[in-house]
Structure 1
Amino acid sequence: MTDFPRPAHADLRRADATEQVTLGSGSTARFVAPGSATQGRFGLFEWLMPPRIGGTDTHFHKTFAESFYVTAGTVTLYDGQRWVTARGGDFLYVPEGVAHGYRNETDEPAAMLVLFTPGAPRETYFRELAEIATSGRELTDADWLELWARHDQYPVRD
């Protein structure tokens, strides 16, 4: 019999204790399993988008892959080459360095799970975006570029 190393315990994260932030667009990010809760192996967020929300501009990440699983509604996703329509049950995997983005262009709410591998600390980025929105702080173009670079987010034109 082989002994396998095991973590000290499993970690149940209750829905009512899950941190969430609301961005200026009205979208809500729920930090279902941030990298800090998964030993850095992955991060899993739930993304809730009201109707007609722009989402993100196209961008890429150098150090982690990102995946999108649509759970409700219709989401328009950029797949590195074009904008495509994704509905509940559709999945998009985006390797490091590939441009991507998302938006809800419909009159209905939409939701998706967003998976980061490895578990980059994306919650710090979304907390900062929420703080900018609630405080009314205005950023220059240079400020935005610095913020994005600090969080491994590099804008591209689609």
Structure 2
Amino acid sequence: MIVSGQAHTVLPDDGRVVTMGVIQMRVLAAGEPTTGGAFSLVEFTGQQGPWTVPHLHRRMEESFFVLDGDFTFEVGDEKLDTGPGSYVLIPRGVRHMIRARGSGTLLGLMVPGGLEEMFFELGRLPADSITDPAVRAAISARYDSVPV
């Protein structure tokens, strides 16, 4: 990481990283202390399969930009097949999940920030914890991420 004046810079091989089974998350801008809780910006990279369980956020909006690969986003009752260059905004209170149709990379923006801490907590558990509804329910309630 480079700190230059007021700039926050993360170089390609920098950033706090956690691996959770099929996916890896790299933090580009943490809710705390980087953005004062305003937002979190992360990069998710992983393999084919579900990247999460169906869940919703009551106080947060989440959005994703597909950098590489093909993904199916389930948002409410809609299934959205996406590829590189696609952007998906998940409104507050709407059930959603993400499935990779091969390997891929997403840029994730969470407003307000802080959800990245849930992923670090999940990363300390067995690899399949991110897609285990019981484990997710126990941890994610603290982070406004409610499995449904």
Fold in common (TM above 0.5): yes
Specify whether residues 116 and 140 from structure 1 end up closer, same or farther in structure 2 by C-alpha distance, changes over 3 A only. closer
| Partner AA of 2:105 in structure 1 | A
Specify whether residues 112 and 58 from structure 1 end up closer, same or farther in structure 2 by C-alpha distance, changes over 3 A only. same
Specify whether residues 27 and 144 from structure 1 end up closer, same or farther in structure 2 by C-alpha distance, changes over 3 A only. closer
* Structure possessing the higher radius of gyration over alpha carbons: 1
**What secondary structure, in the 3-state scheme, does the structure 2 residue paired with 1:114 have?**
strand
Specify whether residues 98 and 140 from structure 1 end up closer, same or farther in structure 2 by C-alpha distance, changes over 3 A only. closer
CA offset at residue 58 of structure 1? 1.3
Q: What's the TM-score once normalised by structure 2's chain length?
A: 0.85
Deviation beyond 4 Å, 4+ runs, structure 1: none
Count of residues in correspondence between the two structures: 140
Query: Any residues of structure 2 matched to 1:46-57 within 5 Å, and which?
Result: 46-50=43-47, 52-57=48-53
| Partner AA of 1:71 in structure 2 | L
CA offset at residue 140 of structure 1? 9.3
CA distance in 1, matches of 2:139, 2:71: 26
- The C-alpha deviation readout for 1:12-39, integer Å capped at 9, x for no partner, is 2333330111102x21101111112112
- Identity over aligned pairs, percent: 30
Q: Does 1:59 align with 2:55?
A: yes
Where does structure 2 lack aligned partners over 5 or more consecutive residues? none
The match for 2:115 is 122
Could you tell me which of 69, 73, 80 is aligned with 1:73?
A: 69
Q: Is the 8 A contact 1:79 1:92 kept in 2?
A: no
Q: Is the 8 A contact 2:39 2:110 kept in 1?
A: yes
CA offset at residue 144 of structure 1? 4.1
The match for 1:4 is none
Higher strand share: 2
Q: Is the 8 A contact 2:51 2:100 kept in 1?
A: yes
Q: Does 1:102 align with 2:102?
A: no
- The C-alpha deviation readout for 1:49-75, integer Å capped at 9, x for no partner, is 11x221112110111100011010101
- The C-alpha deviation readout for 1:129-148, integer Å capped at 9, x for no partner, is 110026x9xx993x542312
The match for 2:138 is 146
